[in-house]
Copies of this chain bind each other. A is one copy, B any other.
Amino acid sequence: METHSHPYVPQDLHLPGYVPCFLSMSTILSVYAVSSILVISFVWIFSGRIPKKTKVERLLMCWWAFTGLTHMIVEGYFVFAPEFFKDKSGFYLAEVWKEYSKGDSRYAARDAGIVTVEGLTAVLEGPACLLAIYAIATGKSYSYILQFAISLGQLYGTAVYFITAILEGDNFSTSSFYYYAYYIAANASWVVIPSIIAIRCWRNICAAFRVQGGQTKKPKVR
């Protein structure tokens, strides 16, 4: 098996059968950006046809569609394709992870913590995000607690992601460009947005209990 030298750090990382990226960084990012914009536009237009949905609710539906499909398709591929770095076909999702590993080589190295977090995210949180769109669209009583649960899962996963890296020396990036562009910037959305959503859900849930408290002093389990 022919092995090319890989661009990842640490350089002694053993990746037998590694095949370099076929697609350029701009191609990879453009495909992801255009797909995301298409998904978000579709959900924004579709949600505008549902009566009595506020702009915040419609924005949330866009976020859940974007993040849910990212979890299921992009991260799902990583979880179930341990040998993506050997891909010779130029398959887009393999290229994504070959490229992203320049920001965090633990992906190519198949670090157990990374695979675990990505597995929970892809398999549990991904489908739950799509359920959240349905819950918001139809005004289900579980809408807030579901969104809260997913956001907390995303925050826990991101915390594990960053803290394990720090404990292991924080030296998995090919260069400081990839460190800040991929490892920091690409993950920042999954810290900021879930935090905002979790706080919003927390407040709404507390408000619902205060309303209920005005009727009967103590909520009853069904």
Residues of A within 8 A of B (CB): 52, 56, 112-113, 115-117, 119-120, 139, 141-145, 148-149, 152-153, 156-157, 159-160, 163-164, 167-168, 200-213, 215, 217-222
Smallest CB-CB separation from A198: which chain B residue? B149
Provide 25 A-B residue pairs closer than 8 Å at the C-beta atoms, listed in order of the A residue: A52-B217, A56-B221, A112-B113, A112-B163, A112-B164, A112-B168, A113-B164, A116-B163, A119-B163, A120-B159, A139-B217, A139-B218, A142-B209, A145-B205, A145-B206, A152-B152, A152-B156, A200-B221, A203-B221, A204-B220, A207-B212, A207-B222, A208-B219, A211-B215, A212-B212
Contact A213 B152 (CB under 8 A): no
Copies in the complex: 2
A46 vs B164: C-alpha distance when bound (angstroms): 40
- Give the shortest distance, in Å, between A5 (CB) and chain B (any CB): 27
User: In the assembly, what is the distance between CA of A208 and CA of B112, in Å?
Assistant: 40
Inside 8 A of A120's CB, which chain B residues have their CB?
A: 156, 159-160, 163
